Amino acid sequence: DVQLSNRVNSIKPSPTLAVTNRAAELRAEGNDIIGLGAGEPDFDTPEHIKAAATKAIQDGFTKYTAVDGTPALKKAIIAKFERENGFKYEANQILVSSGGKQSFFNLSLALLNPGDEVVIPAPYWVSYPDMVLVAEGKPVIITTTQEQRFKITPEQLDAAITDKTRLVVLNSPSNPSGVAYTLEELKALGEVLKQYPNVLVATDDMYEHILFTEQPFCNILNACPELYERTIVLNGVSKAYSMTGWRIGYAAGPAKLIGAMKKIQSQSTSNPNSIAQVAAQAALDGPQDCVEMMVSAFKQRHDFVVAALNEIEGVDCIEADGTFYAFPSFQTVIDARPDFEDDIALAEFLLQEAGVALVPGSAFGAPGNMRLSFATSLNVLESAISRIKAALEK
């Protein structure tokens, strides 16, 4: 029997990928399953982006690139930050990686010593705590309620920070809750962070563009520019441009930290895929109307899904500010049914009885809720929700 490392034994496989796989298994057995588990847009990658990649192949752009990304892509990223966010970066402050996931992985490995604490508000993206654990850090979870729209308060943040805290993670709009912090709320969190000069902040802006609010996108640096020297901005092309399979994410921050993350990457995967880098550059530099088209489809589905979920007895779903997730509470349903112990049992029931795959909220540190991805057509969503309703009312 092979003895595995404590490191790997401390983590679990991604629960969202597990749900997707389970749905695929049941489907392969001939069951009619609607998968609302996956966190990826259903649209094809826009044509001009694919064309840039095809050309890159034809041009023979098929070799190693600089570990931290091609100069051309880094230039496009720097221009994006300046144009869309008002942030200024030099090339040595940017690292391109194989997806946003690798960016956070590099960050954890470059920053944390054993026992260092990372403050993570729940509900959280499933990978943050496990990547912190791989780096032998300690996730410190702040729990939130639906009443507070799943957003942490300055008091909660202050209470979670100790002298071991190295990093605070913010993700707005949030996967899975779909909520975004306002500029005022971020200013209030920034006031707390200002009191702890040794604490770094990671702002994961992966859903920046998938936002329905009147107020434009903002992150902690817009709210509190004084934090520039200790904030790392994480972003990528996966969600905004429907490019999940291309695997391009990027990070911007203090040159020393970015350099350390680059060193980690240089001894693991090296450069991200050369062709995908050309595609990402075309996405950032090219026309943005493709993004608007996708966002308006997400908004329409969001409005349908939230209303339809709230018509199911015992289900309570808040309006999201962005993303393509709804995060309804099923707690009343769970409490009323002795046959479901928790949200995990409910997810299994809905998979078996309704043929609908959702991810239980406990995977995101918020038991009692369920994450439903509406990155699929309105027809499919209609049928999924009526099946859920029928199965629960049976």
Site string for ligand PLP, 103-142 (x = CB under 6 A): ----------------------x-----------------
Considering beta carbons, is residue 276 or 392 the nearer one to ligand PLP? Answer: 276
Can you list the alpha helix ranges (DSSP code H) found in the chain? 6-9, 15-28, 47-58, 71-80, 100-111, 127-134, 154-160, 183-194, 220-223, 255-266, 274-285, 289-310, 331-336, 343-349, 378-393
- Per CB under 6 A, which of residues 201..240 are in contact with ligand PLP? 204, 206, 236, 238
Stretch of 64-72, 97-105, 279-287, 296-304 contacting ligand PLP, by CB under 6 A: 97-105
CB of 206 to ligand PLP, least distance (A): 4
Please state the closest distance from residue 232 (CB atom) to ligand PLP, in A: 13
Smallest separation, CB 177 to ligand PLP (Å)? 11
Which CB, 126 or 297, lies closer to ligand PLP?
126
Which H or E run contains 233? Answer: strand 231-236
- Measured CA to CA, the distance from residue 364 to residue 373 in angstroms comes to 14
Instruction: Compose the 13-42 pattern: x for residues touching ligand PLP by CB under 6 A, - for all others.
Output: --------------------------x---
**DSSP state, residue 290:** H
Q: With binding defined as CB under 6 A, does residue 99 bind ligand PLP?
A: yes
Contact at 8 Å (CB) between 168 and 147? no
Amino acid at 24: A
Number of residues counted as binding ligand PLP (CB under 6 A): 13
Q: What is the DSSP string of 170-213?
A: EESS-TTT-----HHHHHHHHHHHHT-TT-EEEEE-TTTTSB--
Q: Closer to ligand PLP by CB, 170 or 381: give it.
A: 170
Interacting residue with ligand PLP among 45, 244, 265, 329 (CB under 6 A) = 244
178 binds ligand PLP (CB under 6 A): no
Binding mask 337-376 for ligand PLP (x = CB under 6 A): ----------------------------------------
H/E stretch holding 357 reads strand 356-357
**Which SS3 state, helix, strand or coil, does residue 88 take?**
coil
Q: For residue 286, what are the CA distances in angstroms to 42, 126, 177, 281?
A: 21, 31, 30, 8
Residues that bind ligand PLP (CB under 6 A): 39, 99-101, 125, 171, 175, 204, 206, 236, 238, 244, 249
